[in-house]
Amino acid sequence: MFTEEDVKFYLAELALALSHLHGLGIVYRDLKPENILLDEQGHIKLTDFGLSKESVFDDSSKTYSFCGTVEYMAPEVVNRKGHGTASDWWSYGVLMFEMLTGSLPFQGSTRKETMHQILKAKLAMPQFLSADAQSLLRALFKRNPGNRLGSGPNGIAELKVHSFFASIAWDDLLHRRFQPPFKPVCSRADDTFYFDNEYTNRTPQDSPCMPPSATANELFRGFSYVAPLLLTQQQQNQQSGPGEDDADSIDANDGDAAAAIAVKNVCRLRGVKTSPFLTDYELKEQLGCGSFSECRRCVHRVSGESCAVKIIDCAKRDPREEVEILLRFSEHSNIVSLYDVYASAGKVYLVMEMLWGGELLDKILRQKFFSEREASAVLDVVCRTISYLHSQGVVHRDLKPSNLVYASEDGSPESLRVCDFGFAKQLRADNGLLMTPCYTASFVAPEVLKLQGYSAACDVWSAGVLLYTMLAGQTPYAHGPADPAEEILNRIETGSVELEGGNWESVSPAAKDLVRRMLHVDPSQRITAAQVLQHTWVAHRSALPMFRLAVRQEAGQMLGAMRATFAAVNSTSTGAGNSGRGGAGRQAAQVPALQSVAASDLAKRRGKSKPKVSTEV
């Protein structure tokens, strides 16, 4: 199911495509969801013209073939009395009904019953549809082709003026000036992430052609060419992991059941390799270590290129969500690039770009001084990245300074990368589908939306802590690494941040205003990442002062205080699920303790109202 606004966009683009075909005398005759694909920008592409018919310009040139998918057939196709371009507008109505309701308007238990419904049944119009949508459906579901909308002498012009499309600027739509409601994430030219494995696992076959003559090979003697891009990707695909059969075989090599299941889940993702990691890479020194994984430098045995590899212990955590998010979004310029994924022997290896510039906080400490203009440039990159993730229904939930790393040693803001998506989450619907912007508003339960809002606000809060540190030269809530977690949380929950004295005497009012908005204690009132980008302090960076603000805390004190702050916040959210991870305080993280059913007010009332037996009188 789609929202009406999304349906309006896709139907309008589809109407332009059908009108173009009809103007060329072509009846499409196979309009159904499977034949409508999206390009990399999210615009529709009509495919599969195997059943199309040419040279049908008017009623005198009807075609009589019985073809198409029966549920989408027009009545004149079913009764075989001849049909023209008007049959496509009936199928167009069926598609609209299906997109708005999630079901087909005419569908029986057998093909014969379905065809009978198409010819005779009265359409039950769902009342939750808007009046304009119902009006358009009724105009399209006319069993007499001559009365059907779009089939008259004016063609698509009749449809364009219908009230359902009142908000569509058709000329802008034709020239692709509209922003599609959903933009697929495509990592490479032949990306098949959105295609079902049922089709992509089939062995490709050449199309039949005329047999070559005995001398045909002489025409291309000495000539050979393969596009380098396709050759490189083909070599990578040949090394990629196979399907479920090979994933299942991993169980025998993994002693731990949890690790085996986690590895199997990762192996089902396209592009994951099941060959041993050490076959292609050589491990070097350790770069970092966490609770579930370690990060080390590795060198590709053939190219000699240095990369970073995150080695995840699947016995401790299922990394599928992290791998899936990185596969979809690592092409973003400010998200760490993912090169390879290996899964074997209870571990998952994420091979990523080597970030030589070091952590953001280390750069601040080395530099000793940071101007407002420099801080604004850094915040712009960070919030642009998390705003993009939030728009795709993804929350990072662990946006601490150690996960913001420079790719290059020059430390330019554009080389910043957001790393470590171990706690990131992709919002999903009850049916498991990814919740992208075109679905979120109408098809997610309010409590899920509230949870998503909290998580997104947590990312902004983390960026606010970073901004405060860049401007003040010290952390906002912890004075040192020895501060107790309870004390840090109490400071966070009061919602007060010190914006007077020290560096704040030299900081602009706009910067102070943005800090207050980003660190607001109430997540529902906190500024969003998109709104941060529109704030004057970020949008008008060239007007900011270049005065250098000093780092006031000692390096060890600041690093320890920052770690203590995020450790305190994360410790409260861990016990309450992941909803509050990386957020401000315990407001969004606390979950009430469940008691027995007998303790409920309803059970107590029922107990009092029971008639007493004679022995109790």
Is residue 58 annotated as a catalytic residue, yes or no? no
Q: Is 289 annotated as a binding residue?
A: yes
How are beta strands 347-353 and 281-289 bridged, if at all? Answer: unpaired
Single out the residue of 470, 454, 297, 477 nearest to residue 376, CA to CA: 470
Given a contact cutoff of 8 angstroms between Cβ atoms, the answer to whether 38 and 94 are in contact is no
Q: Is 285 annotated as a binding residue?
A: no
- Amino acid identity at 499: L
Given a contact cutoff of 8 angstroms between Cβ atoms, the answer to whether 307 and 300 are in contact is yes
Angle at the Cα of 312 from the Cα atoms of 309 and 316, rounded to 5 degrees = 170
Measured between its terminal Cα atoms, the distance across the chain in Å is 60
Q: What are the φ/ψ torsions at residue 311 (nearest 5 degrees)?
A: -105, 115
Cα–Cα distances in Å, from 162 out to 44, 133, 136, 137, 167? 21, 10, 7, 11, 10
d(CA 569, CA 573): 7
Residues linked to residue 119 through DSSP beta bridges, in sequence order:
none
Angle at the Cα of 360 from the Cα atoms of 357 and 366, rounded to 5 degrees = 80
Q: Is 295 annotated as a binding residue?
A: yes
Q: Which residues contact 558 (CB under 8 A, 6 or more apart)?
A: 361, 365, 469, 474, 475, 551
List, as own/partner pairs, every contact residues 413-417 make where C-beta atoms lie below 8 angstroms and the sequence separation is at least 24, other chains included.
Answer: 413/374, 413/377, 413/378, 413/380, 413/381, 414/333, 414/334, 414/381, 415/357, 416/334, 416/360, 416/378, 416/381, 416/382, 417/334, 417/335, 417/336, 417/353, 417/355
Angle at the Cα of 181 from the Cα atoms of 184 and 452, rounded to 5 degrees = 85
Q: Is 151 annotated as a binding residue?
A: no
Token digits of residue 442: 């109408």
d(CA 56, CA 445): 48
Q: Is 267 annotated as a binding residue?
A: no
Q: Is 50 left (phi over 0), alpha (psi -120 to 50) or beta?
A: alpha
Give how far the C-alpha of residue 131 lies from the chain's centroid of Cα atoms, to the nearest Å.
32
Q: Is 292 annotated as a binding residue?
A: yes
Find the catalytic residue in 398, 420, 459, 483: 398
Is residue 196 annotated as a catalytic residue, yes or no? no
139 CB neighbour count, 10 Å cutoff:
18
Q: Is 443 annotated as a binding residue?
A: no
Find the catalytic residue in 6, 30, 191, 420: 30
Given a contact cutoff of 8 angstroms between Cβ atoms, the answer to whether 269 and 249 are in contact is no
Helices (H) and strands (E) in the chain, counts: 23, 15
Token digits of residue 546: 């270049």
Q: Is 273 annotated as a binding residue?
A: no
Single out the residue of 167, 198, 232, 177 nearest to residue 4, CA to CA: 167
Binding residues for ATP, by number, are 287-295, 310
Residues taking part in catalysis = 30, 398
Binding residues, by number, are 287-295, 310
